[in-house]
Structure 1
Amino acid sequence: MRDEARFTAETLISLPRFSGLALSRDGGRLVAAVARPDRKRRHLVTALFELEDGGPPRRITRSARGEGAAAFSPDGSLLFVSRRPDPEEAGEEDGGERPALWLLPPGGEAYPLASPPGGVEGFAVARESGDLVIAAPARPGAAGWKEDAEWEKARREAGVEASLFEGYPVRFWDRYLGPRERRLYISPLPGEGGRIEEPRELLSGPPGSLALSSFDITPDGSTVVATRWSDPEDVAGRVMELVAVDAASGGVRTLAGDAWYSSPRCSPDGRRVVAVREERSGPGRPGDRSLWAFDLRTGEGREILEGFDLWPEAPAWSSDSRSVLFIASCDGRAPVFRAPAEGGPAERLTGEGSFSDLCPAPEGGTVYALRSGVGEPPHPVALDAREPGGEPRRLGSFPELERLRLPARVERVEARARDGARVPSWLVLPPGASSERPAPLSVLIHGGPLNSWDGWHWRWNPHVFADDGWAVLLPDPALSTGYGLEHIRRGWGRWGEVVYDDLMRAAEQAAQRPEVDGERAAALGGSFGGYMVNWIAGHTRRFRALVAHASLWDLEGFHGTSDLGTWWEREFGNPYEDPSRYRANSPRPSAPRIKTPVLVVHGEKDFRVPVSEALALWTALKRHGVEAKFLHFPDENHWVVKPNNSLLWYRTVLAFIDHHARGRAWERPELL
């Protein structure tokens, strides 16, 4: 029997993972995606569950490949995306390999609704008319899905896998954006048992223009609002513009092309769309982020947040279209806020906790959401929007989550930066830590860098480290979100100067705690956090062990190999004209000064921070005689998510820092 007072990596990966809430039009059904490891713990498999107030979640889909991205049609049918094979085409070549759009009617069996040859990358459904917008890639110039499928068959028979790119980027996250290019299609929802074979193409554009687009459709299906690159050829100066497309004629109007727009959401009355707007940034000046609402008839837009110094995300309309709910990182939490659609001060609706997946109910008072925190994994709740600050009502969940009691103690601590600014952190203390038995210190540095330790973390979970006896510091230095634009501006373009100093001051403040042994200390981080570990390696010997996961090493080279390398020009400028900022902030020149043992971790499929960064770092460490190890995952990307790989990650990382910081014997994890 498992010890309920323990929280190991095995405990972590066994927990159900909630995501993707969807609420039916009448508010009577609430569905969530829940991921669990498969029997051999090789993959996380997601299934859809219906949630109820009184009982545990009820599973409503089941397949080896899993389901997700759920939404309801007007008649109560559940739409979702899955790679499961079509039961009517069993044995067909490549069946089930690509994500298709499925429909589960009330009381019926699920069947594939749309199966484009390039797979479904996203969809939106009009809440009244049922019209569907489907994002799917297709061959440039293909007249329809049938022609696209014939072209694919010809390529397969010829053994051709090559792609010819004309736009930028050519890859994103862990996949190449070819040989097809993304388009938006529209179709009415077919009758019972009907399928979408050849939908009408609604929006395409120059190569790469829709690669990262997001979209929504008005309730009556008359207008589709989408984002797209403003000028695909200007890869450094372009923005993500917001356009409205007339569903009947295909006519396109640009609502805004002056900033980076994302997450468009159409109001229930169909009159407006709200979107997140991020200003253009430049070296020395980070752009601010806000919410803008646009009148779909006149095209007029305006900011709706008055004097709001946090960064909004994931907007959702109230059922009466009079207000917009959203989430914003705020001092180590991610509360729910509400703002008038006509503009005005935002009102905070929740206290403790971090929220996501907002689903306002049609009756106007209830908002369903997922709630988490540094000390609690995500679980479904219901908020009463009429009582701001009230405690959310917890909905029925799984036994593992209901009985979970994390033994570590979570506290909020604070240090002061050189300029007097706050440097807040979470401190997670293991059971038994005291002045008589101080715990060694591990400093976990978040990625981003525009990010924050404001919720539960599946990949860098502090409670697994605390279970091993570590005191865990989760600092939010300059550049962290949730503390206003000035906190970001302090570290903008000064990673190796201001952010580094903030981190060291936070670590020293935690080390003074009587329950913490600051002499036995390790620093760990991923992505930007890994970059900071590499910077720390060449600038201090304060730590006994370092772990650099998916880390940046040579910023000048990284600009040309990352999937969105030109994105960094907004902070460091044009490297072809003036590379000084890249060089000044690059850890690479400090390689000869590194003496602390380093564990390098990287995934081969990582296109955000390519594995070449890890190889260059590894070469530098071995060239200079640094004690180091390299944990390489050929089947992972920027994140390590496969359950067995995650277990190996935690075991290797803990064994490494335990050995070098605590003097324990090195034990090579099994299977490595």
Structure 2
Amino acid sequence: MVRSWYELPEYVRLRRVNGLRLSPDGSRLVAPVGDLAPDSKSFRSALWEIDVAPQAEGGRAPRRLTRSTKGESGAEFLPDGSLLFSTGRPDPEAASEDKPKAALWLLPVDGGEARQVGSTHGGVGAFTVARDSGLVAFTGRLLPRAKDQEADSEARKAREEAGVTAILHEALPVRSWDSDVGPDHPRLFIAAPPEDEDARLGEPEDLTPDAGMALLGSAPELSPDGSTLYVTWTVPTSGGAGRSEVVAIDTATGRRRTVVGGPDEALEFGSPAVSPDGSRLLVYADSEGEYHGEPRDATLWIVDPATGEGRDLLDGHELWPRDYAWSADSSTVFLVADQNGRRPVFRVDVASGELTRLTGDHGAYSALNPSPDGRHVFAMRDAWDAPPAPVRLDADATDGEPTPLRTPGSEMSMPGTLTEIETTADDGTRIRSWLVLPEEASADSPAPLMLWVHGGPYMSFNGWSWRWNPWLLAARGYAVLLPDPALSTGYGQDMLRRAWGQWGPRTHADVMAITDAAEARADIDAERTAMMGGSFGGYMANWIAGHTDRFKAIVSHASLWQLDGFSGTTDYPPVWESEFGTPLDRPERYELNSPHLHADKIRTPMLVIHGDKDYRVPIGEGLKLWRDLLLHEVDAKFLYFPDENHWILSPGNAQVWYETIFAFLDHHVHGKEWVKPDLL
């Protein structure tokens, strides 16, 4: 067990398991594992093999399968057991490759040297393999007018030689998270598997030359025999927005039809998963909510792909599904959903609709992989006191316990303890929270308190975070409060209804109530409290700053400040407008909820943090917040990252992020002299 991992130089070196994929025969597990690149300036990912048996049953230690400076991601098995993956490493057999893009590579079933087997000039994105036939489907990016890859290459060369980088948009989105949309867009290709150990994939066939922007963010799903490809397809609507449907594409003819979705549907549909027998689809169904109606909601539909007839698989259950998979015999669906500060695995009998909770611990599960013999479900498990690691679950259990597998990740002991607290809000609603306590916290030595509010806002503080890790603060003597206030998932739709369209007032009341409960503990020093949050949590940091001076310091990361300006500059305004409307047509919720209207009341020292490449909450929000704090002479600092996005992802910047927060807290919570981090 690593005990010094919470020192920042050690923290950024930890290995991090990021997914899991089971081979069709159930004998092998493969996972992408991230670690620090040799230059220490970035993280990279490699593929590791994990034994399906735990150590007590003779399970072998994990072994690394791939190694390159560019790293590898994604993992899909071909029917013969060979492994297909994506990487941007240069192809040693290519005549010239000035700027290698992500391509498909194949690792033989018995090991050996991986080789490139498929590519496009714009790179390869999401990909999948037909379980029985081995047909491969993948997304490749082409310029809009290009009829084929040769024309795409010529068009790219012409733009480059002319010095043109401009992009003409005719619909949303223009940007997404930290990337520009266009000038190329994804299309779907299919290719036959390699004919022998030296061959590439078959000649890729473009199934969607008319896709335009319809496939942005979509991932393909093939029927087991490869005859049909299912994918999320975005259809343009009014105001430059779009709605999502699920379409089926005949891989032999390219004919496309809508399976589920349409202009008359109240829900949008996406992320199809075809049953192993090919007879049904699982489809994620969600609603962005209505201004004067119900808030956001999500569920799973089971659909007949031939007729489009479907039903709500979770009817009567207020679960927000996050991941799902079919059993090998197509009779059962396994899913994970937020629930009461956890993210358990559930089992649903398709015929009867009977729902059973498979796991009963406090874990947060993901990457479900049911075994072909029906006995187990392999998954990733994490929790606030455990980083993501592979586990084996009994597929027939009720409130069962996970069996840990040997992990290529880092095993750590926590510098403190994890507990839960709850209270009752002013409207009678139960508000619960995780509380991380440092080892030395006691009635004789109460710990200063740090309140964190989660982002989203439609999420739950139910699992490990590499970006916002409370144990790094616990190792420095702070208790960390991780509440699920109004708008949190896992507590039913009423928890969302309470603050739909009134983010500030309702959520503030909940957060203050749970903070009161924490401060009432004998092992908490109520006179030394601070607060921080990012994204929606940053919005709440700004709101709290304008409505109370109870905190010694507030850290506001990637935060919303002036909502009327934010509404038109975020990367996809239609989602926002379903709840808030537009400032001109419906100013009421902007006037009720915008933190900038309370700038004159802020007295608490604030640290503002923002990345320039953040397109979800654009940099203008941080700049306006910083300027308003200066105008009102608030004791404030602005930590600016020119090349980071909504998250601070590079190792060096992540370390400086924490160092600056620690220094800011030392100064304002503990009264120490302000000391700027060395590299700033």
For Structure 1 versus Structure 2, the TM-score category normalised by the shorter chain is over 0.9
- Report the TM-score when normalising by structure 1: 0.96
Match of 1:376 among 371, 386, 390: 386
Q: How far is the alpha carbon of 1:208 from its aligned partner?
A: 2.3
The structural deviation recorded for 1:619 is 0.8
Displacement of 1:341 in angstroms is 2.2
Provide Cα deviations, 1:570-619, integer angstroms capped at 9, x if missing partner: 11123331122123211111111111111011111111111111011111
1:61 aligns with 2:66: yes
Aligned equivalent of 2:83: 78
Q: Is the 8 A contact 1:168 1:232 kept in 2?
A: no
4+ residue runs over 6 A deviation: none
Following superposition, the deviation at residue 634 of structure 1 comes to: 1.5
Q: CA deviation at 1:219?
A: 0.6
**Deviation sequence 1:178-225 (CA, Å, 0-9, x none):** 111121112222322323475222135464222122331111001111
Cα distance in structure 2, aligned partners of 1:4 and 1:399: 15
Correspondence for 1:498: 506
- Give 1:436 deviation, angstroms: 1.2
Could you tell me how far apart the structure 2 residues matched to 1:582 and 1:252 are? 42
The one of 486, 500, 504 aligned to 2:494: 486
Q: Structure 1: which amino acid aligns with 2:125?
A: E
* Cα deviation digits, residues 319-352 of structure 1 (max 9, x gap): 0000111100111111001112235131100011
The answer to which of 284-293 and 529-538 deviates more is 284-293
1:306 to 287, 301, 315: 315
TM-score normalized by structure 2? 0.95
Counterpart in the other structure of 2:108:
105
Partner of residue 220, structure 2: 215
Partner of 2:366: 356
Q: Displacement of 1:262 after TM fit?
A: 2.8
- Separation (CA, whole Å) in 2 of partners of 1:231 and 1:6: 48
3-state DSSP of counterpart to 1:203? coil
1:160 Cα deviation after fit: 1.9
Residue 390 of structure 1 corresponds to 400
Contact kept, 8 Å, 1:263 with 1:314, in 2: the verdict is no
Q: How does 1:78-477 map to 2 (within 5 A)?
A: 78-89=83-94, 92-94=97-99, 96=100, 98-107=101-110, 108-192=112-196, 193-196=198-201, 198-205=203-210, 207-236=212-241, 238-257=242-261, 258=265, 259-284=267-292, 285-352=294-361, 353-398=363-408, 400-401=410-411, 404-477=412-485
8 Å Cα contact 2:369-2:377 kept in structure 1: yes
Tell me which residue corresponds to 1:533: 541
Distance 2:640 2:14 in 1: 25
Q: Counterparts of 1:326 and 1:6 in 2: how far apart (Å)?
A: 32
Q: Cα distance 1:366–1:165, how it changes in 2: closer, same or farther (>3 A)?
A: same
SS in 1 for 2:333: strand
SS at match of 1:539: coil
Stretch deviating more after TM superposition (337-346 or 486-495)? 337-346
Corresponding residue SS for 1:570: helix
Equivalent in the alignment of 1:552: 560
- 2:340 maps to a residue whose letter is D
- How far did 1:287 drift? 3.4
Check the 8 A contact 2:5/2:14 in 1, yes or no. Answer: no
When structure 1 is superposed on structure 2, of 122-131 and 335-344 the one drifting more is 335-344
SS at match of 1:622: helix
Equivalents in 2 of 1:207, 1:612: separation in Å? 30
Correspondence for 1:48: 47
2:600 aligned counterpart, secondary structure: helix
Matching residue of 2:648:
640
Using the alignment, how far apart are the partners of 1:640 and 1:49 within structure 2?
A: 26
The one-letter code of the counterpart of 1:105 is P
Q: In structure 1, what is the equivalent of residue 56 of structure 2?
A: none
Is structure 2 residue 679 aligned with structure 1 residue 655?
no
**What one-letter code is carried by the residue in structure 1 that aligns with 2:416?**
A
Q: Deviations 1:468-490 (Å, cap 9, x if unpaired)?
A: 11010001000001111111111
CA contact (8 A) 1:550 1:638 kept: yes
Aligned positions, number: 666
CA distance in structure 2 between the aligned counterparts of 1:67 and 1:440, rounded to whole angstroms = 42
Q: CA deviation at 1:87?
A: 1.0
Cα distance, 1:233–1:558 mapped onto 2, change above 3 Å: same
Q: Deviations over 1:105-142 (max 9, x none)?
A: 22332111211111112111111111111112211121
Structure 2: distance between partners of 1:451 and 1:395: 28
Matches of 1:666 and 1:143 in 2, distance apart?
60
The SS at the match of 2:236 is: coil
Moved more, 529-538 or 19-28: 19-28
Q: Distance in 2 between matches of 1:55 and 1:609?
A: 45
Name the amino acid aligned to 1:335: P
SS in 2 for 1:230: strand
Does the CA contact (< 8 Å) of 2:86 and 2:124 recur in 1? Answer: yes
The separation in 2 between residues aligned to 1:3 and 1:455, in whole angstroms, is 20
C-alpha distance 550-90 of structure 1, shift in aligned 2 (>3 A)? farther
1:538 to 1:205, Cα distance in 2 relative to 1, 3 A: farther
Q: Distance in 1 between matches of 2:184 and 2:352?
A: 41
Q: Are the counterparts in 1 of residues 337 and 345 from structure 2 also a CA contact under 8 Å?
A: yes
Give, in angstroms, the shift of residue 637 of structure 1: 0.8
- Structure 2: state its 5+ residue gaps: 54-58
Answer whether contact 2:346 2:359 (CA < 8 A) is retained: yes
The question of whether the paired residues in 1 share the 8 Å contact of 2:138 and 2:220 is answered with no
AA paired with 1:575? P
Contact 1:207 1:232 in 2 (8 A): no
Shift of residue 9, structure 1, vs aligned partner: 3.0
Q: CA RMSD in A?
A: 1.7
Deviation (angstroms), 1:7: 2.6
**What is the CA-CA distance between 1:280 and the residue it aligns to?**
4.5
Between 1:370-379 and 1:568-577, the stretch displaced more is 568-577
Classify 1:198/1:558 alpha carbon distance in 2 versus 1 (closer, same or farther; 3 Å): farther
Contact 1:306-1:345 within 8 A present in 2 as well: no
- Which whole-Å CA distance do the structure 2 matches of 1:280 and 1:406 have between them? 38
Cα distance in 2 between the residues matched to 1:172 and 1:668: 33
1:12–1:458 Cα contact (<8 Å) kept: no
Q: Quick one: which of 589, 604, 628 aligns to 1:581? A: 589
**SS of the counterpart of 2:515?**
helix
Q: CA deviation at 1:155?
A: 1.7
CA contact (8 A) 1:307 1:345 kept: no
1:35 aligns with 2:40: no
What is the CA distance between 1:306 and its match in structure 2? 3.4
2:63 partner letter: R
